[in-house]
Structure 1
Amino acid sequence: MAVIKYLWFLVLFALKEACADLKCEIQDDDGEILKCTNDEVYNLVLQRGFLSSYRNATTIIMNLCSIVNIDTEVFEDVPSLKTLDLSVNYIENITIGTFDGLTELEELNLFNNYIEDLPVDIFKFNVNLKKLNIGDNVLFWLNVGVFDSLVNLTSLVLSSNYIAGNYWDPEVFRRNVNIMNIQFNGNNMSEAPQNLLSRFDKLISVNLKNCHLTEFPAFLISSNKTNVIILNLRENEIRIIEKDFFENYEIISILDLSRNQIEYIAEYSFKSMKKLTFLNLSRNLLTTLPHGLFATTYRLSLLDLSHNMLTVLQEDLFKRTKLKNLNVAYNRLTYLQQDFCQQQKNTGAILKIFFFNHNPWQCACLKELLNEVKRSRINYNFTYFDGVQPVCVTEEFVCKRQENVNSFYADLFDSTVKNVM
């Protein structure tokens, strides 16, 4: 028995010493902000009583501290805590009761740990929590009821876990009607249920970057999300944008569809987006854009069409927009309409930044365009057009603005200039 007690004493002593190596400093005069660092100890355990000297703390930052475990009662000494950052540690399990004493907690960051499961009652007493980040963990599902107490939650980060589409249960969010920002990015959302977002009446921002989507998700079409301002669908495998996909997104301002495989966009797909200001369609497979695509995007000011396969830009494509920043670099353009920038200005789009490098330009067409952007003092990629490297083909004096000759000049560019660059 004496041996067992001695061994237990050694364990407790080692844990105490480990916590002692966690260096904590007050960051403000009122003793409310506590920042902890750990440069020496791995596999650190937060023990009960460790925070007893910091009872006035309202913010505790313990990221990058090599924490592996937390005693259930460690936060009972800081009842006024509003912000807790435990990100970038090695926490695997959080037991029920760990956060029970933090009834004033408003922000909890558990990003980049190794958490496998969140017990149903883990947030039972955190009714004032507004921001929760549990991204970049190893969650394979979420238990129904785990967020039931979080009725004031406005921001929820679920990114980069392992929750597959058919494991997303809309009932998990049944009481989270105040959520305005939700991040699913990095999860597999390809089979997520159609009513996934049905509870979110105040949703403003949705992040679906890199979610293995091969088509536009049904839960974005079926949900009447008229409050959404920011929608990120970057890095998926979406191929088609149909006319009705964005019908409910009347006040959306920022839309990112870059790095997909979009080949087709139906005409008037953006008809309802009268407040759209930023649109990223870069790195897709677009060869053409329908004539009326931007007919009602009156506030559009930044448009990225780079890294596609566009061969033509219609002269009145951006009519009535407020376009200031246009990127058509890395496409298959050999010409633009004469006085292209002035024509945009005449219809309301006053270009300030215009990138058109790395296209198979006819030299005569490029010369006209360069003269115009210089004359109009429009910023462009002048380092690419420095006169040192070849950037166009043919020495003809006249710009041939016919679609049927595009392929000839594009092929000529590929076989000559592209090989030199």
Structure 2
Amino acid sequence: MAVSLYTFSVLSILFYYIEATPICINSVLEINKLVCSPGNYSELILTRGIVSDNNKTTSIILSACRISDVDFEAFNRLPALRHLDLSKNTITTLKLGVLDGFRALTHLNLSYNYLKTFPLGLFDQKPNLINLDVSSNRIDTLVLGVFDPLRKLEHLDLSSNSLVGDNVDPYLFDRSRKIKYLSFSRNNMNNANADLLHAVSELQTLKLEECELEEIPEFIIVRSFKVLKNLHLSGNLLKEVKNSHFSNMSTLLTLDLSGNHIENVEENSFKSLNNLRSIDLRNNLLKVIPETLFQNIPALSNIDMSHNLIEYVPVNAFRGTKVRNLNLSNNQFTYLQDNFCLELRNSGAILTKFYFNDNPWQCSCLRDIINEVKKYEIIYNTAKYDGKHPVCVVSDKNNCQRHFEYSKEFLNLHVSEINN
């Protein structure tokens, strides 16, 4: 009988409807978690009484509730509150003092609103905040000192805002030294000060995707990162990678340089990355791979260089790695070195996945590599080689011509016979 009464009470709450305010119910799985959905209104000013005044509430979800403003006492008397989600609303400003009073908060999500800045002092009573997400707003200004109270902050997402690199104060994170995850993606971070990250000593993930960067920014070149593991630079306007760019990042595990305009990579650009496991160079303009580009990076197991203009692939470039997944599809080479996979195996690498489709293959050379991947049971894109579509060209030379001077001939044949 007790179970039936409990079920009835939960169902009653689920169907309880208040026209002027969000419909807020306690989660069945987490009784102290309050989940709200919008009521019958176009926009709402969040006032006291909707979610406030509960000593036991630990989590409040007010995502997509059409909230346009937050009153000063909206979160009054919530001493246990640790998680607050105000994402996907239309909040344009948070007044000074509106977040005061609940000091236990560890996670705050303000993403997908219309915020432009934060008043100095907004986070003064948030000493325990660990995770702050303000992505997808309109933030163009961050006042120096606004993050100073956040001494425990570990995760900060500033992506998809209107920040401009040379307007971001280099001392912005001087007191938030424990940041482990930081995203500036989809802001214009050109010309940011070289000292921007000088105080951040525990950074593990840095995201600078689609930041309109024309060069690797100085603030990651001059800084000596001791624990950085993941660096994302995809979708920028980078044209080259130099030997000095990653020399201070020996702890890096993943490096994403995809979707740039990179034409040149200097041969020792990645030599200091002894712990690197994955590198993504797809969707660039590379034509040449230096002979020693990835050599002797012992942990390197994932390499993606698809969708480039690579005309020649030196097997030496991969010696001394543990490459398991190699993607060379959508390039411009017509052949690979004889016994390519065997040569890699002999140098310590064991391919498990190898994609080489959509290249201007000589048919005899393609046959050689397919026989080899089958022999070693390497996964490849079999759908591209089902015999239903032309994938290679034949000339009057029956055997594989592994000479660079023949490549142009076969490339022209491929363009004329297959692409047309």
Do Structure 1 and Structure 2 share a fold, with TM-score over 0.5? yes
Shift of 1:291: 1.4
Match of 1:110 in 2: 110
Check conservation: 1:185, 1:207, Cα contact below 8 A.
Answer: yes
Match of 1:182 in 2: 182
**Structure 1 residues 29 and 308: CA distance shift in structure 2, 3 A:** closer
**Secondary structure at the counterpart of residue 108 of structure 2:** strand
Q: For residues 133-188 of structure 1, give each alpha carbon's deviation from its aligned partner in whole angstroms, at most 9, with x where no partner exists.
A: 11111111101111111111111111011011111101221211111110000000
Extract structure 1 runs of 4+ deviating beyond 4 A: 16-19
Shift of 1:293: 1.2
Q: For residues 91-126 of structure 1, give each alpha carbon's deviation from its aligned partner in whole angstroms, at most 9, with x where no partner exists.
A: 111111111112000010000100112000110110
Check conservation: 2:20, 2:40, Cα contact below 8 A.
Answer: no
Question: Residues of 2 paired with 1:376 and 1:220: CA distance?
Answer: 41
**Structure 1 residues 366 and 29: CA distance shift in structure 2, 3 A:** closer
Match of 1:411 in 2: 412
Check conservation: 1:119, 1:143, Cα contact below 8 A.
Answer: yes
Q: For residues 279-310 of structure 1, give each alpha carbon's deviation from its aligned partner in whole angstroms, at most 9, with x where no partner exists.
A: 00000111111111112311111100000011
**Secondary structure at the counterpart of residue 221 of structure 2:** helix
Question: Residues of 1 paired with 2:231 and 2:369: CA distance?
Answer: 34
Question: Residues of 2 paired with 1:189 and 1:272: CA distance?
Answer: 25
Check conservation: 1:273, 1:296, Cα contact below 8 A.
Answer: no
Q: Are 2:212 and 1:244 aligned?
A: no
Higher mean C-alpha displacement, 162-171 vs 250-259:
162-171
Higher mean C-alpha displacement, 169-178 vs 230-239:
169-178
Match of 2:71 in 1: 71
Question: Residues of 2 paired with 1:251 and 1:173: CA distance?
Answer: 22
Question: Residues of 1 paired with 2:237 and 2:61: CA distance?
Answer: 38
Counterpart mapping for 1:4-403 below 5 A: 19-20=20-21, 22-28=22-28, 31-38=31-38, 40-52=40-52, 54-395=54-395, 396-403=397-404
- Amino acid paired to 1:71: D
Unaligned runs of at least 5 residues, structure 2: 1-16
Check conservation: 1:19, 1:50, Cα contact below 8 A.
Answer: no
Of all paired residues, the percent bearing the same amino acid is 37
- Amino acid paired to 1:207: K
Shift of 1:56: 1.1
Q: CA RMSD in A?
A: 1.4
**Structure 1 residues 291 and 81: CA distance shift in structure 2, 3 A:** same
Shift of 1:18: 5.4
Question: Residues of 2 paired with 1:388 and 1:340: CA distance?
Answer: 26
Question: Residues of 2 paired with 1:152 and 1:44: CA distance?
Answer: 32
Shift of 1:411: 1.5
Q: For residues 360-396 of structure 1, give each alpha carbon's deviation from its aligned partner in whole angstroms, at most 9, with x where no partner exists.
A: 0000000111111112111111111110110001154
Question: Residues of 2 paired with 1:398 and 1:267: CA distance?
Answer: 32
Question: Residues of 2 paired with 1:18 and 1:124: CA distance?
Answer: 35
- Amino acid paired to 2:78: V
Shift of 1:31: 2.5
Check conservation: 2:18, 2:39, Cα contact below 8 A.
Answer: no
Shift of 1:397: 2.2
Unaligned runs of at least 5 residues, structure 1: 1-15
- Amino acid paired to 1:347: S
**Structure 1 residues 98 and 275: CA distance shift in structure 2, 3 A:** same
- Amino acid paired to 1:359: N
**Secondary structure at the counterpart of residue 220 of structure 1:** helix
Question: Residues of 1 paired with 2:181 and 2:30: CA distance?
Answer: 32
Question: Residues of 2 paired with 1:17 and 1:29: CA distance?
Answer: 23
TM-score by length of 1: 0.93
**Secondary structure at the counterpart of residue 171 of structure 1:** coil
- Amino acid paired to 1:201: S
Question: Residues of 1 paired with 2:229 and 2:40: CA distance?
Answer: 45
Shift of 1:344: 0.7
